[in-house]
Structure 1
């Protein structure tokens, strides 16, 4: 005999044509009222209620980022899959396209400007260093569809094998290293370099921050502009860059100048030792923190390693969320809309992760799994679960409980060679490549620079 079990489930969503407008449990971070204000502020509220109200289209754009491998009709199916028993629209692909065009990019831009921020308290591990919010600026390149419209703005970049790839955009982000949340972001054609976009991020810098920068950003004009914002800088410069020695500090660093900007320089060697051997690299770091007593050189060298957190944020956006896919939009205005949607979706996931880990001040946000947050959020969108908060407020939520149940171990010191894992040409992968990860020990030696 076969027994059937029925598990009743109550779904609470908006009424009428607005019902498909949700993002599962993430709707609590981007609630209806917030989306409605974004539409009102940007003049995109619909004149009359259609089958696809503007609020619903905003959530459609965000859900599209959670399901990047699907067409828009399939994304719509996931928004409505948990709404059985409710009468919902069944729009065609053409109707969804027209709705996205009516919406434009501005409401998503407004949402990103509202949501961006560090999402951390003063006690959150790894977010602050000696009272300064640790953040980093870096850039990455993302492929866009090879359409005639996109080619009017975005150009193709040369590949290693001599051919041309997809047109590309350049994305530059200011990231809080402790939580990997976005503090700001700018993007545009890849024909403009990182130092062209970087000054546009200075608007989000202020006193009480320290910005970690790669060698590409060691421009005297950019560093001076950051210093004028009140933020401090820790940047790597080329080892051969000539900097005047204006006085030595007891910790091995020395005072110098970049134009009119007073700085402190730290020359050091970092040795990584594994069972496979030793490797030593020279580093020259420049900082606007000139007091060696309050900001010791050794701690600054160790802090600079946090710059890699911005690279991890890009990995999560491009690989974990997008799965290495090309963006969808085939017009430049569509690309603007899609990228702002992607930034909002990433930020909302990061905020959910921060909400979960902050329930225990002993948990470093690094231990939260982005993959668990993403896959749980996708499931809850399909189920239309947790859209509206119950009378008993749940600060952690289903996403948070999954994150806390699957915390990753504390980060261990390991190293592996930087190699091309998926070569564009088979000839780029000649020879034997060691892909082994090794347990490592790191030693730091500060080099004393003679007065010149």
Structure 2
């Protein structure tokens, strides 16, 4: 028989991930979220929180089936068998606040997060998710418009700051997709501090946002439009130069990047990067250009959330409060998986060579078996999830050219045309720094 909590609290677990999200942490989140039950029920608040976390592991299942998996390994223990109505009432009773508090306790960079010359390397970007098409959700979340009419489902917009190297989430903000990334971004900058280097795309290259990032004392490395006029202050020996954008003195790095793919046409692109790292001796321009590539790790984070965990499905809650609860549960479970991967792979392996899919499926198995819920006296940071991941590490990522186009169009008619959608193995990547043209 598995070692779990006693009595009505027994179903409240997340398999081996319970060691990362222990009972005490969930109880603290419930207390902070003011959701502790006034009397012990068949579905205590702690158990309901674990149900929501497990729901993020089994997104294809209804909550009654999620519950069945949580109690599958507890055959010798008398556990409740609630119906869908009881589970729905329990989720409403708990609300979103404990899940928000729990994510706050889990959020942050894990062991092995990428550091470059002493700076914690992070990336910021946004994404969108579809939510259930109910009247309540439609009244809060916007639909995406287009030439063929509005989207079938309302959408929320989510922005995150992710630690590169481990892809752990440092902070997040989300709401209706009717509000732009630029409007949400200042709320997210609360997590920035001295010692961080924030990577961002051209959407964040406004003078206002750069000024707000600089006020946090975090450093930044942001791509900008190559045709934007920036008055020269000083030329630096490595070809970069200093300019002013709003209230901030920035170093401008222009570079030509040439890709020579195997079997495909050569491609050249010009990059302009802006950074607050103005010391060209301490922070070489060529290294910064190569470092900027790590910004793409946040795109992989969103792919793991939306494709691997959600499987492309819409969020299932039918009210805005339920959506808040579900998103924080999804993020908390994702963070727990990423921490488990980081614990297993640090420092003997590269976290990015760990398969997120293997970790997810192993965690699901551990929930069904109710395995390793309570840690032994000897602490095992690797665990079954980690050992399974380490046994099948991914090969180092090969350089390749991937077109930024839709690979599978929703409409077959829009799939026609002369666009090259082939991923080519890249033979060489050449970077040439440009000097200021004047």
Report TM bin, short chain: over 0.9
1 CA distance for matches of 2:138 and 2:150?
A: 16
Offset from partner CA, 1:252-305 (integer Å, 9 cap, x none) = 100100022111101111111112221001111111111111111101100111
1:5 equivalent in structure 2: none
How many Å apart are 1:201 and its aligned residue? 1.2
Aligned to 2:388: 402
1:400 to partner: Cα distance: 0.6
Paired position in structure 1 for 2:189: 202
Secondary structure of the equivalent of 1:156?
Answer: coil
Q: How does 1:216-231 map to 2 (within 5 A)?
A: 216-231=203-218
Unaligned ranges ≥5, structure 1:
1-9
User: Equivalent residue of 2:144, what SS?
Assistant: strand
Q: Show the 5 A alignment for 1:49-448.
A: 49-120=40-111, 124=112, 127-159=114-146, 161-275=148-262, 276-358=264-346, 361-431=347-417, 433-448=420-435
Cα deviation code 1:290-321 (max 9, x no counterpart): 11111111011001111000000000000000
Structure 1 residues 110-163: Cα deviation after superposition (integer angstroms, max 9, x where no partner) = 01111111112xxx3x70001100001000000001100001111211246445
Partner SS for 1:234:
strand
Q: Which runs of 5+ in 2 are unaligned?
A: none
CA distance in 1, matches of 2:25, 2:150: 45
- For 1:22-33, what aligned pairs fall within 5 Å after superposition? 22-33=13-24
SS of residue matched to 2:290: helix
- SS of structure 2 residue aligned to 1:166: coil
CA distance in 2, matches of 1:189, 1:403: 36
TM-score by length of 2: 0.97
1:138–1:174: 8 Å Cα contact kept in structure 2? yes
Number of the residue aligned with 1:4: none
Which residue number in structure 1 is paired with residue 9 of structure 2?
Answer: 18
Take 2:240 and 2:326, find their aligned partners in 1: how far apart are those partners?
A: 46
TM superposition score normalised by structure 1? 0.94
CA distance in 1, matches of 2:143, 2:150: 10
Q: Please tell me whether the aligned partners of residues 234 and 243 of structure 2 are also in contact (alpha carbons under 8 angstroms).
A: yes
Which range moved further: 284-293 or 156-165?
A: 156-165
Distance 1:413 1:259 in 2: 36
Q: Which runs of 4+ in 1 moved over 3 A?
A: 159-163, 431-434
Q: Is 1:160–1:424's contact at 8 Å kept on the other side of the alignment?
A: no
Moved more, 110-119 or 268-277: 268-277
Structure 2 CA distance, aligned partners of 1:30 and 1:23?
A: 8
Secondary structure of 2:34's partner? Answer: coil
Deviation of the 1:17 alpha carbon: 0.6
How far apart, in 2, do the equivalents of 1:313 and 1:436 lie? 20
Q: Distance in 1 between matches of 2:288 and 2:108?
A: 24
Q: Distance in 2 between matches of 1:46 and 1:409?
A: 48
